[in-house]
Amino acid sequence: MATSAYELAQRQGDDAIRTSLLDAASRLLAAEGPGALALRRIAAEVGCSTTVLYRMFEGKAALIEALYVEAFDRFRRRLESVRKQSDPLAYLADLGRAYREHALAERNYYRLMFGEPIPGFQPSDEALVRAAATFTILEDAIKDCADAGLLSGGSPRHVAASLWAAIHGVVSLEMAGHLPRDNGEVFEATLLAMGKGLFTIPSTGEKRGP
């Protein structure tokens, strides 16, 4: 008989069980909508009892909050994994690419972060703080560019918001199938266009992209 996801996770401990449950919930949400987020349904998907879910999350509301937090925590860890470089613009470009790669690899969780897949859900203040940590990584990278004299204008926070909006827009279009399958060429062109408008090399006045 095939080993269930729960049995596999049990061998690795509670963290693995929790991740398995959240992954199952995110898949059901993406495939069937919020109506599929019944604890019995999630338990059946993983191969455990509902008691396990209550032990991990205390109930459906806590599970939904955990899904939201997990989505942003995974995103933050992916951005934090990008290696810093001596050239702050090169590092910034790599952050942008990591954003796209993560979104395409974790589509279910990405939609949890920036869509409204669960009507009426309002994240707690603590969850919002966890979510904001991802934006802080980008803002800090912009500050490094400003410190190097590469910012052509605007505050680091506003520039970070502009760059985030552009990246989010092109990635969302790609995920929805509205862009050609070009191995990221449109994305790279977007990075270049935003870079030319936002950054400059003070010694020559030449603008360049991240």
Residues 27 and 108 in one domain: no
* pLDDT value of residue 42: 94
The CA distance from 157 to 140, in Å, is 9
Say whether both 115 and 158 belong to one domain.
yes
Q: What's the CATH code of the domain at 42?
A: 1.10.10
- Provide the residue range defining the domain that includes 92: 69-207
Residue 154 falls within a domain, yes or no? yes
Distances (CA, A) of 6 to 20, 31, 54, 163: 7, 20, 15, 40
Q: Do 46 and 90 lie in a common domain?
A: no
Same domain as 107, residue 52: no
**In the beta sheet, which residues pair with residue 206?**
201
B/e letters for 163-189, b = 16+ CB within 10 Å, e = fewer, are bbebbbebbbebeeeebeeeebeebbe
Claim to verify: residue 114 and residue 44 sit in the same structural domain: no
Q: Do residue 24 and residue 76 come from a single domain?
A: no
Please tell me the total count of domains within the chain: 2
> Taking the alpha carbons of 66, 15, 21, 19 in that order, is the dihedral positive or negative?
positive
The reply to whether 41 falls in a domain is yes
Shared domain check, 85 and 161: yes
Same domain? 105 vs 171: yes
56, 42 Cβ separation under 8 angstroms? no
16 and 90 fall within a common domain: no
The verdict on residue 64 lying in a domain is no
Torsion-angle region of residue 47: left (phi > 0), alpha (psi -120 to 50) or beta?
left
Residue 41 and residue 107 share a domain? no
**Cα–Cα distance for residue pair 8/48, rounded to 1 Å:** 11
Give residue 205's pLDDT: 46
Question: How much is the pLDDT for 183?
Answer: 81
Which CATH number does the domain housing residue 108 bear?
A: 1.10.357.10
Question: What is the predicted pLDDT for the residue at 79?
Answer: 97
Ordered per-residue pLDDT tens for the chain, 210 residues: 456 666 666 666 688 889 999 999 999 999 999 999 999 999 999 888 889 899 889 889 999 999 999 999 999 999 999 999 999 999 999 999 999 999 999 999 999 998 877 888 999 999 999 999 999 999 999 999 999 999 988 899 999 999 999 999 999 999 999 988 888 999 999 999 998 899 985 454 444 556
Domain boundary among 12, 33, 58: 58
Please tell me whether residues 78 and 32 are part of one structural domain. Answer: no
Beta bridge partners of 207: 200
| Structure-block tokens of residue 113 | 């972060």
Do both 54 and 73 map to the same domain? no
